[in-house]
Structure 1
Amino acid sequence: MWDEIGRAAAKGDLFAYFGYGSLVNRATHRTRILGAAKASVRGWRRHWQARPDPSEEGLSFLSVKPDVEAGHDLPGLLVFDHIENLDALDRRELGYDRRVVARNAIVFSGDFEFDGPVFIYEARPPARRDAHHSILQSYLDAVLQGYLREYGEDHVRRFILETHAFDTPVIQDRHVPRYTRHVLLEAEERAFIDSMLREHGVSQVEA
């Protein structure tokens, strides 16, 4: 993987981005990436918010915001992709602004020194700051399955504990998923995710 990434970098055919939500789940990727590896960034924290598009009011966006808490790091997936796929990623992240992560804010143990920009996507402000919003279970399943497969059970717990506004209700749409990149959970994954949501008192509402 790293040899191919190095060759792409040498040709100028490479960009990198940091996934902290559904992009952590490789099953949701829709471009043929060059590779990906676990990584963390400092200076950002996840949170749930209302969507910026008033036509989609009522549904939650997972976003990040600048964070100055000393010692806090945000685990996720560092993804390397062909530069030609950047437009496709921007379209996928509609409603988000592409930001550049400071290189010294990335904690990464891969066998490759990447000196190009690393992007992270930050949601635009909600159309109404007081808008009620709820999380799609089908979206949350994709996010938590990604962390479960990349990092294990402890990071699913950490995700729930460290993501601000996780008192947001969850819409139970798993059987008729509304999230366009929904995933299929193994029985063990489904049981674990449900147990974590119950354990942490996350409220659920019928679809």
Structure 2
Amino acid sequence: MDHPFFFGYGSLVNRRTHGHSAAITARLDGWRRVWRHTDLRPVAYLTAVPSPGSSIEGLIAAVPGADWRALDHRERAYDRVPVTQIAHGAGQPLAVELYTIPPGKHRAPDRTHPVLLSYLDVVVQGYLAEFGPEGAARFFRSTDGWDAPILDDRAQPLYPRAQTLSAAERAFVDDWLDRLAVRRMAPDPDGAAPGISGA
């Protein structure tokens, strides 16, 4: 295949958030997910950081004609870098790139830069669909930063690609948040909330 591929490890794992229907599952070695925020957005989201001995699962999909414009806009808080330690079922070597926030440009989430529950729901829904409950559990275990506060915006999602979860999917997310003792923040009663785009 002549087209380059991206490796998605967060919301891009959920096929409902993009048009890359030919995506296939993959595993990237030497990296780990972490919740972080930057000055570019008022909320925290996932990035991947080098981590020898770690691995993360996700999806790879072709970028036809190497036209990265739409994805680069969606992932504009990130740098795009090539990765090589990746296992997939495509049957031939592929040129794969990963979106990651450069060192020194991200910080730990806090109450003014929380994780959106609507974003986490989308990510976990994707992992449940692609890897089943065991794979979604591996997502939680292979992600750092669960001391981040989570803004419970399910009733009025702030994430622009929010999806409707089934009762079972919501229960799965909530059970893991309880296991990890994650702090949840209620939305501001006057309706004020961080505005976001992209991610």
Aligned residue for 1:4?
none
Q: Which deviations, in whole Å up to 9, do the C-alpha atoms of 1:68-107 show, x marking residues without a partner? A: 12xx2211111123126411000000110000012xx111
Which segments of structure 1 move beyond 3 Å, counting only runs of 4 or more?
124-131
Any conservation in 2 of the 1:46–1:164 contact (CA below 8 Å)? yes
Within 2, Cα distance between the matches of 1:77 and 1:157?
A: 16
CA 1:204/1:126 → structure 2, altered by over 3 Å: closer, same or farther? farther
Aligned residue for 1:37?
24
Within 2, Cα distance between the matches of 1:90 and 1:130?
A: 23
Any conservation in 1 of the 2:152–2:184 contact (CA below 8 Å)? yes
Q: What SS does structure 2 have at the residue aligned with 1:43?
A: strand
Matched, 1:94 2:76: yes
Structure number with bigger Rg: 1
Matched, 1:49 2:31: no
Aligned residue for 2:116?
136
Within 2, Cα distance between the matches of 1:193 and 1:134?
A: 17
**Structure 1 unaligned blocks of 5 or more:** 1-8
Matched, 1:108 2:95: no
**Structure 2 unaligned blocks of 5 or more:** 188-199
Aligned residue for 1:205?
185
CA 1:150/1:129 → structure 2, altered by over 3 Å: closer, same or farther? closer
Aligned residue for 2:146?
166
Instruction: Name the structure where helix makes up a greater proportion of residues.
Output: 1
Per the normalisation by structure 2, the TM-score is: 0.85
Q: Which deviations, in whole Å up to 9, do the C-alpha atoms of 1:28-47 show, x marking residues without a partner? A: 11x4x261111101111100
Matched, 1:149 2:133: no
Any conservation in 1 of the 2:35–2:109 contact (CA below 8 Å)? no
What is the RMSD computed on CA atoms of the aligned residues? 1.9
Q: Give percent identity, aligned residues only.
A: 37
2:6 equivalent among 17, 38, 60: 17
Aligned residue for 2:61?
79
Q: What SS does structure 2 have at the residue aligned with 1:67?
A: strand
